[in-house]
Amino acid sequence: MPLKLRERVYIRDLLEKGVIGNEYTVAGWVDTVRVHGGLVFVVVRDRTGKMQLVVKRNISREAWEHARKLAPESVVAARGRLVESKAALGGRELQVYELEVLNKADPLPIDIYAPDKTTLAKRLDWRFLDLRNPRNQLIMRIAAEVARAAREWFVENGFIEIFTPKIVGAATEGGAEVFSIVYFDKPAFLAQSPQLYKQMGVIAGLEKVFEIGPAFRAEPHHTTRHLTEYTSIDLEMGFIDSYEDVMDIVEAVIRHVISSVLSRYRSEIKEYFPNAITEPPKEIPRITIREAYKLLEAAGTPVEWGEDLSSEAERKLGEIVEREYGSYLVFVTEYPWAVRPFYTMRKSDEPDWTYSFDLLMRGLEIATGGQREHRYDVLVKQLEEKGLNPRNFEWYLAMFRYGAPPHGGAGIGLERVVMQLLGLGNIREARMLPRDPERLVP
Amino acid sequence: MPLKLRERVYIRDLLEKGVIGNEYTVAGWVDTVRVHGGLVFVVVRDRTGKMQLVVKRNISREAWEHARKLAPESVVAARGRLVESKAALGGRELQVYELEVLNKADPLPIDIYAPDKTTLAKRLDWRFLDLRNPRNQLIMRIAAEVARAAREWFVENGFIEIFTPKIVGAATEGGAEVFSIVYFDKPAFLAQSPQLYKQMGVIAGLEKVFEIGPAFRAEPHHTTRHLTEYTSIDLEMGFIDSYEDVMDIVEAVIRHVISSVLSRYRSEIKEYFPNAITEPPKEIPRITIREAYKLLEAAGTPVEWGEDLSSEAERKLGEIVEREYGSYLVFVTEYPWAVRPFYTMRKSDEPDWTYSFDLLMRGLEIATGGQREHRYDVLVKQLEEKGLNPRNFEWYLAMFRYGAPPHGGAGIGLERVVMQLLGLGNIREARMLPRDPERLVP
């Protein structure tokens, strides 16, 4: 009779709440095996923790035979009695009288517990093993918590989730960095963002919408902060007075996300990520990009007036703000019209600058947003000024002829939030199976 | 001074909780305008409801001038005093002394309130107008609620959200119906499902995972129930005793989803969808496909023994089960090995049949799942038996050599759930911007 896996108890529950003397079933992966003659100590690991199984020949010869031959990372289920043990992890161990090998493991191609001995590239090739390292698994859980907390905030604040197409008929933002698809007999593209569609959600009368989904960028970047496929946390809202309203929302979302992650995972984060953020943000300073130019110039790292901020300038600005404002987050506002997309609303009194913003976290852009231009005539002009053909945006432009409220929104990069929150060195660590120009498999 | 949109109050709140005699700001779309000399009645609509504005020339000449020229679907904001009115919707109206036109509308290309006068294709071309019809907007809200409720169930029951790649290096399930991408200089594909990756989530030690995201099928179907891009609610779980465990989970998720939708939207659904489901499911019957063959044969609509169920057979079976079991849901189990994918676990005693299931709702498949084969040798054989080359599945097969627990899972089609729940005639109605072989825009 195989063990009933339905009766299986998670290890953390057993260590914290199991009744000494009672019988339990545990299951998981074999972490280590030590054989001492008629006695085998097996440390088994499930997603909640590790505990020691003691398998004695004189209790079950069969279990003992299995146990002493166990290769690390094999999958087992065991039934036995919970006893106290000063020597064991967590002060408790399971005295086993039934042990079932559910799946045997071959010798491992990488050392799960010594990630530094293996390149990140190789670890990603063997991601299903790499993620058995509790540190790496924690990153995945935190990514999930970021999404959960963001959605919780959106739903509680009246944002409606939408599901926009990822297969699109035209390159949404006019850029060249899109992936092409063969869509039956027609050319098509992968959506770089839900930008135009989330605006549709607002204009269609949903008023406040959000989406957390994949976005695709065919950028041939080989950096530690770019992915060709990432998870975008998008929001868009109508009936705003100004882009300040959008920043208020982004600030509230980010605060809720960071607070939720810390309140749920503070101790684990402390254990595995010495460079992680430890406190939720206070009020986030907002400085115009022109103020940023001045700060950077004063710090001896000038940026050309009217230019976008390079990643180097962003990093530097993050340091300055950390020092001057004591904040690891900063909104940089009013980016030059020259470096923002056609749908950005320009400042009414200074049309070279826009009602837009980026949010930097520890010197890296994690979000971008602003107020969108909702006046049809202005929008057509802005398309032309950007060298785009309004005819290619017919369906989009039509939305502004039949009642489009003033609106704005933002997109937040989920993996970047995770990376900056934990202080990871490479964004690839923040994604289960990253894609970059070289990496398509697994 | 423009009106402060931040002070805007939603119409439903004003009708239900506004204080008579107080001043309020409302904003929304112009539903109808009636001019009676010095008096204009404007019905304005926001996403919560409609209310009447009364604009009098002798209170504000300027507001009156604006109001009498308002075209339907223009966007306005108005400030005024809330008064009781027997003639008005909801028994209350706003006596306006400030009216701001935020965006003017041209004459409309479709009649928002007479969807039957316009083909679905044309409505989808003008989806941002079509969704201003409260019935259609409600469908979008219900789709969002399905996703929210499913996630809530998953999180409360220990499933961890994962974000799997949609750009993949090989056609996941070996089928021909995949979209090709140009990925820099390499060929790639759009994921048909997160199948192999959610299995990786389990095997990587996350044990129980879920994902709600886009799935892509290059099927040239022109039916009322197929989309080339849809939202898949995917789950996968390790350490199962049998595929019955997976059905238990799917049953619990579906019950929670339907109950949540009904408890939140019961009255609106009743108003707009006469064919909708009105009660959450009771226990869902489970019948083997061989029992289904017999039922269909007895009903005079036989299916070839060992064949899959056609959509016609599914519909018929739905009727039989409704009559015999009083259930609008039914699990059909043990599908023939011949019609299931290579990773399906076969019955140990009857290898021509499998530990798999479909869930039918009102005679349409809304979910499919089963136990997966986790034994390496068996898996290699099954690939070969399906005419697939194990070399093309190297990274996938590797997962089964280093400790893969017994596991299973399912995928649920979000739009199909919405369609069957509301009794819609076409799945395109259940998606904001559907994609089919002809439809790529907007």
What DSSP letter does each residue of B303-372 carry, written as one string? Answer: --TTPPPPHHHHHHHHHHHHHHH--SEEEEE--BGGGS-TTBPBPSS-TTBBSEEEEEETTEEEEEEEEE
In sequence order, which residues have a C-beta less than 8 Å from that of residue B61 and are 6 or more positions away?
A: none
What pLDDT score was predicted for residue B317? 98
The verdict on residue B376 lying in a domain is yes
Residue percentage of chain A with pLDDT more than 70? 99
The answer to the question of whether B225 is labelled as a binding residue is: yes
The verdict on residue A108 lying in a domain is no
Note whether A279 contacts B: Cβ–Cβ < 8 A: no
Total Cβ atoms within 10 A of residue B223: 11
Strand pairing partners for A232?
A213, A413
DSSP SS3 for A249:
helix
In sequence order, which residues have a C-beta less than 8 Å from that of residue B275 and are 6 or more positions away?
A: B422, B423
Asked if A51 and A70 count as a contact pair (C-beta separation under 8 A), the reply is no
What pLDDT score was predicted for residue B221? 85
In sequence order, which residues have a C-beta less than 8 Å from that of residue B321 and are 6 or more positions away?
A: B285, B287, B327, B330, B360
* pLDDT-based confidence at residue B185 (cuts at 50, 70, 90): confident
- Tell me, rounded to whole angstroms, the distance of Cα B349 from its chain centroid: 38
* pLDDT-based confidence at residue A115 (cuts at 50, 70, 90): confident
> A-chain residues within 8 Å CB-CB of B218?
184
What does residue A40 show for φ and ψ, rounded to 5 degrees?
-125, 130
> B-chain residues within 8 Å CB-CB of A414?
163
* pLDDT-based confidence at residue A185 (cuts at 50, 70, 90): confident
The answer to the question of whether B429 is labelled as a binding residue is: no
The number of CA neighbours under 13 Å toward the Cβ of B239 is: 26
Same domain, A154 and A282: yes
Whether residue B418 is predicted with pLDDT greater than 80 in this model: the reply is yes
User: Which helix (H) or strand (E) covers residue A402, if one does?
Assistant: none
Residue percentage of chain B with pLDDT more than 90? 95
- E-assigned strands of A138-274? 160-161, 167-168, 180-183, 186-190, 208-216, 229-238
Distance in angstroms (rounded) separating the CA atoms of residues B242 and B408: 8
What pLDDT score was predicted for residue B1? 79
Same domain, B138 and B286: yes
What pLDDT score was predicted for residue A170? 79
Note whether B240 contacts A: Cβ–Cβ < 8 A: yes
Query: Does ipTM surpass 0.90 in this model?
Result: yes
Lookup: tokens for A425: 């060195």
pLDDT tens digits for B267-316?
999 999 999 999 999 999 999 999 999 999 999 999 999 999 999 999 99
pLDDT tens digits for A377-423?
999 999 999 999 999 899 999 999 999 999 999 999 999 999 999 99
In sequence order, which residues have a C-beta less than 8 Å from that of residue B189 and are 6 or more positions away?
A: B167, B168, B169, B170, B171, B172, B178, B179, B180, B181
Same domain, B87 and B11: yes
Residue ending a domain, among B87, B103, B119, is B103
Distance in angstroms (rounded) separating the CA atoms of residues B307 and B290: 10
Same domain, B182 and B241: yes
Same domain, B72 and B143: no
Measure the CA angle with vertex B230, ends A215 and A418; round to 5°: 30
CATH number for the domain spanning B94: value is: 2.40.50.140
Contact A403 B245 (CB under 8 A): no
- Domain extent, residue B55, equals 5-103
Total Cβ atoms within 10 A of residue B350: 11
**How many structural domains does chain A have?**
2
Cis upstream peptide for B274 (omega within 30°): no
What pLDDT score was predicted for residue B90? 87
Contact B102 A399 (CB under 8 A): no
Asked if A256 and A150 count as a contact pair (C-beta separation under 8 A), the reply is yes
Q: What is the mean pLDDT of chain A?
A: 96
Note whether A113 contacts B: Cβ–Cβ < 8 A: no
CATH number for the domain spanning A143: value is: 3.30.930.10
> What letter does residue B287 receive in the DSSP assignment?
E
Same domain, A324 and A213: yes
pLDDT tens digits for A68-111?
999 999 999 999 999 999 988 889 999 999 999 999 999 999 99
Whether residue A172 is predicted with pLDDT greater than 70 in this model: the reply is no
Query: Average pLDDT of B83-91?
Result: 91
Nearest to A432 among B125, B163, B168 (CB): B163
| Least confident stretch, A112-116, B116-120, B359-363 | A112-116
DSSP SS3 for A171:
coil
What pLDDT score was predicted for residue A175? 62
Strand pairing partners for B83?
B93
Radius of gyration of the CA atoms of chain B, in A: 27
The answer to the question of whether A90 is labelled as a binding residue is: no
Same domain, A341 and A279: yes
Considering only alpha carbons, which residue of chain A is nearest residue B440? A169
Q: What is the mean pLDDT of chain B?
A: 96
Query: Average pLDDT of B356-365?
Result: 98
What pLDDT score was predicted for residue B88? 87
Asked if B174 and A442 count as a contact pair (C-beta separation under 8 A), the reply is no
What pLDDT score was predicted for residue B87? 87
- CA distance to partner chain A, nearest, from residue B244 (Å): 11
What pLDDT score was predicted for residue A90? 87
The verdict on residue B363 lying in a domain is yes
Residue ending a domain, among B42, B69, B103, is B103
Question: How far apart are the two ends of chain A, measured CA to CA in Å?
Answer: 37
DSSP string, B216-262: E------SSS--SEEEEEEEEEES-SSHHHHHHHHHHHHHHHHHHHH
Cα–Cα separations (whole angstroms), residue B386 to A436, B175, B389? 32, 11, 9
Q: How many CB pairs under 8 A join A and B?
A: 265
The verdict on residue B108 lying in a domain is no
What pLDDT score was predicted for residue B172? 61
- CA distance to partner chain A, nearest, from residue B184 (Å): 7
DSSP string, A53-113: EEEETTT-HHHHHHHHTPPTT-EEEEEEEEEE-SSSGGGEEEEEEEEEEEE-BPPPSS-TT
Contact A103 B403 (CB under 8 A): yes
The verdict on residue A418 lying in a domain is yes
Same domain, B280 and B412: yes
Same domain, A61 and A207: no
Distance in angstroms (rounded) separating the CA atoms of residues B426 and B416: 9
- Amino acid in position A45: R
Same domain, B39 and B151: no
Query: Average pLDDT of A245-249?
Result: 98
The verdict on residue B117 lying in a domain is no
Note whether A165 contacts B: Cβ–Cβ < 8 A: yes
Measure the CA angle with vertex B202, ends A109 and A229; round to 5°: 80
How many helices (H) and strands (E) are present in chain B, helices listed first? 12, 16
What pLDDT score was predicted for residue B175? 62
Distance in angstroms (rounded) separating the CA atoms of residues A306 and A284: 24
What does residue A128 show for φ and ψ, rounded to 5 degrees?
-65, -25
Whether residue A364 is predicted with pLDDT greater than 80 in this model: the reply is yes
Query: Average pLDDT of A282-300?
Result: 97
Lookup: tokens for A417: 């939030």
Contact B128 A228 (CB under 8 A): no
Distance in angstroms (rounded) separating the CA atoms of residues A28 and A9: 10
Same domain, A173 and A135: yes
What does residue A22 show for φ and ψ, rounded to 5 degrees?
-85, 160
The answer to the question of whether A45 is labelled as a binding residue is: no
Burial B374-387 (b: 16+ CB within 10 A, else e): bbbeebbebbeebe
pLDDT tens digits for A37-63?
999 999 999 999 999 999 999 999 999
Same domain, A87 and A196: no
Total Cβ atoms within 10 A of residue B319: 13
> A-chain residues within 8 Å CB-CB of B226?
none
Note whether B437 contacts A: Cβ–Cβ < 8 A: yes
Q: Among the residues of B18-133, which ranges form H helices?
A: 61-68, 120-125, 127-130
Strand pairing partners for A234?
A211, A411
The verdict on residue A113 lying in a domain is no
pLDDT tens digits for B316-325?
999 999 999 9
What pLDDT score was predicted for residue B439? 95
* pLDDT-based confidence at residue A221 (cuts at 50, 70, 90): confident
Q: Which long-range contacts (CB under 8 A, 24 or more apart) does B158-161 make?
A: B158/B208, B159/B208, B159/B209, B159/B210, B159/B235, B159/B237, B160/A140, B160/A141, B160/A144, B160/B201, B160/B206, B160/B207, B160/B208, B160/B209, B160/B210, B161/A143, B161/A144, B161/A147, B161/A148, B161/B209, B161/B210, B161/B211
Whether residue A174 is predicted with pLDDT greater than 70 in this model: the reply is no
Measure the CA angle with vertex B82, ends B41 and A202; round to 5°: 70
> A-chain residues within 8 Å CB-CB of B143?
161, 163
Burial B393-432 (b: 16+ CB within 10 A, else e): bebbebbbbbbbbbbbbbbbbbbbbbbbbbebeebbbbbb
> A-chain residues within 8 Å CB-CB of B227?
none
Whether residue A432 is predicted with pLDDT greater than 90 in this model: the reply is yes
Distance in angstroms (rounded) separating the CA atoms of residues B140 and B372: 34
Query: Average pLDDT of A215-240?
Result: 96
pLDDT tens digits for B39-50?
999 999 999 999
The verdict on residue A435 lying in a domain is no
What pLDDT score was predicted for residue B423? 98
Q: Among the residues of B162-217, which ranges form H helices?
A: 195-201
* pLDDT-based confidence at residue B232 (cuts at 50, 70, 90): very high
* pLDDT-based confidence at residue A224 (cuts at 50, 70, 90): very high
Residue with tokens 């101790």: A267
Distance in angstroms (rounded) separating the CA atoms of residues A218 and A190: 9
Contact A27 B405 (CB under 8 A): yes
Distance in angstroms (rounded) separating the CA atoms of residues B229 and B216: 5
